[in-house]
Structure 1
Amino acid sequence: MSLNQQQLKNLATQIKLWGKELGFNQVGICDLNLSAHEDKLTEWLNKGFHGEMEYMAKYGLMRARPAELHPGSIRAISVRMDYLPEHAQFAQTLKQTDKAYVSRYAIGRDYHKVLRNKLKQLGQKIEQQTELNTGFRPFVDSAPIMERPLAEKAGLGWVGKHSLVLDENAGSWFFLGELLINLPLPVDEPVKEQCGSCVACMTLCPTNAIVAPYEVDARKCISYLTIELQGEIPLEFRQLIGNRIYGCDDCQLACPWNRYAQLSQEQDFKQRHGLLSQDLLTLWHWDEKTFLDNTQGSPIRRIGYQRWQRNLAIGLGNADFSPAILNALQAKLTESSELVKNHINWAIEQQTMKQIHAQSSQSKQVKRLVRVIEKGLPRDA
């Protein structure tokens, strides 16, 4: 059994309605030809901008050839799901140096599981309603596939200068997913890019990781440094990381289009364990069991306890001086791994320098006060 053009057109319309019913905020359809992106991908890899993400180089151009991942596929159903939480407290958390900043996509349940499950349901729905073996396969940021070019091609938005997909009505606070399928569904039209001359994301990136429009050197990106990097975080980036202990949202915060971002309606993306604005010291005192318990079902768990401690040590080093922070850092020196110990020693050095500076400033203030008092006293006093 095969479907004629009108039936395929009707099915495409129905698929978008089913997607909305499952909680997707937008659904688009495109073909799988990404050959226009192959040279750019090769150039990016040759520059080493992928850092330690060897899986990027391992699969090479397969990322631009989705049909190789699921033979027989001829279309991608691309979906968007918003994740912006209520009361996101972006600036408030970043300004409070004793608070931990977690990228807002990671404060709830692991999006890989949420979107993949819904995409699977969408594929099953298509098979049930058409009585066809559609041969679908869902993807959510977990296989060598270029999600953003597919989303762009499917009309979900345009790729901005920070390399994220932007929608004029929803900004960029959303996840992407794809369902590869073997039905010749009608495709959607891409939308026009609307970044214009704006370079806010490039200018405000804390580490200057956006080295050119649409080109990110992952080795400088705070998201890469706190999540993907396995070993020591280079010294030149530690102070720039501030209190960002898992990921970074600055390029999105800088983007004017995000004034139109939509709040997420997905319950699974609501915050867990107060991660919107948790104290650094509270998280520092988690032992490994507590970390594993509290990050069950969370994307944060993938970095493991050692890198979690590494990132927290940097956050504590960048916090304003506090005797409690200094004591907490020193207390963990003997029990920590070499990786964590290296970052604790750096953090202790930073806190000690701030303590000396604070004492020096206090001493200067006292001396100024004494001089003021002495000037006001009678000569025979």
Structure 2
Amino acid sequence: MCETDVDPLPGTPGECVAALEELEALKAHLAARQVRITAHLDDLQPDASDRSVGAQVALARHESPHRGTRLRAMACTLVDDLPHVLAALEQGLINEHRAGTPLGDRALRLAAQRIAMRLDDRAAVKRRERAHRNRHVTSQRRDDGTTQITATLPEVHAAAIMQSLHTRAATEKNLDGEERSFSQVVADLFVARLTGQVTATAVPVALNLVVSAEALLGDSDEPAELVPMHGGAGGPIPASVARQLLTCSPDTSTRIRRLFADTEHLVAMESTSRTFDGLLRQFVTLRDRTCRTPWCNAAIRQHDHITPDHAGGPTSATNGQGLCTACNQLKEEPDWTHTALHRDDLDPHHVQVTSPAGQTTRTRAPDPPGLAPPAPTWIEESPGHWVLTA
């Protein structure tokens, strides 16, 4: 890709503000253009599912498939149902976020909910029942060594949980010698009650830790990698913390599966089974770490044959990839293809994804700890057609 000259920055505060306003209006206009093109793409593929069209939008905009589906839905809504909102976006009067949530602040949304309930009580009840059926718990790792656990529950249950935690926390906070903050007491109670232990360290835990031999022996401070096996939160951890986990007290009953990444790439494995199971399943998870779909980054839920089993694809590390449930279902949509590109087991594991519109994007399995990540590069596969590899 060729570099372009950078325009000089404004010279005064007033010019900075004026430039920001001008650029914001331009962004809004371009966002409106994306909306119209997205809706037109949807019209051009009447037989394609919403998920398939949304995934194509996601690839083009470097977003996750879930986000792409939402962008497709928003575009169709603006074009078909909210033309005045779209016009305001084109004129730069509102931004893309505001166009996606035209009701604005919380007070207006609550007012709209009250009106909807008043007009159609039965539909509101069904919506609540559907939301209650979709209750779930998720976790998302943060960058500071903590994890955010989110539970989507009926409001009555959520209120009972918070009231119970706060009531008990207020009692413990009043005890002599209690130095924890109220929030810390609530968090510790949350862990203790879910694990059934007074202290969370008494709970048996299985961790999957990918660590270089040098870091394990103390000769390197290269961070290790904590890899979830059941949709939990993983990511890098300091080398000193990894060594501490590996030498922790037997009282914690912590079982740690250590994979020494002292070679350039993890060793491949084969299976005679039609399904990914046992050590091969663990290997693919440890190698891929998150869903292999570009820009998805969701937790691995399913282990997929890149070349399908019914098409003769083997059950092997070379032909395997970790995907979330939604992306694995998307792969079965018409005209979506995945192709393994690497030549042998010692090469980095590359997969090329091709959409119904002819988009091609490559994904690369992350390197084990201890190796410098490759710099992203652009490859011109055909005149004017560039592919980003990383």
For the criterion TM > 0.5, the same-fold answer is: no
Normalised by the shorter chain, which TM-score bucket?
under 0.3
TM-score, with normalisation over the residues of structure 2?
0.20
**Greater relative contact order: 1 or 2 (C-alpha under 8 angstroms, separation 6 or more)?**
1
Which of the pair is proportionally richer in helix? 1
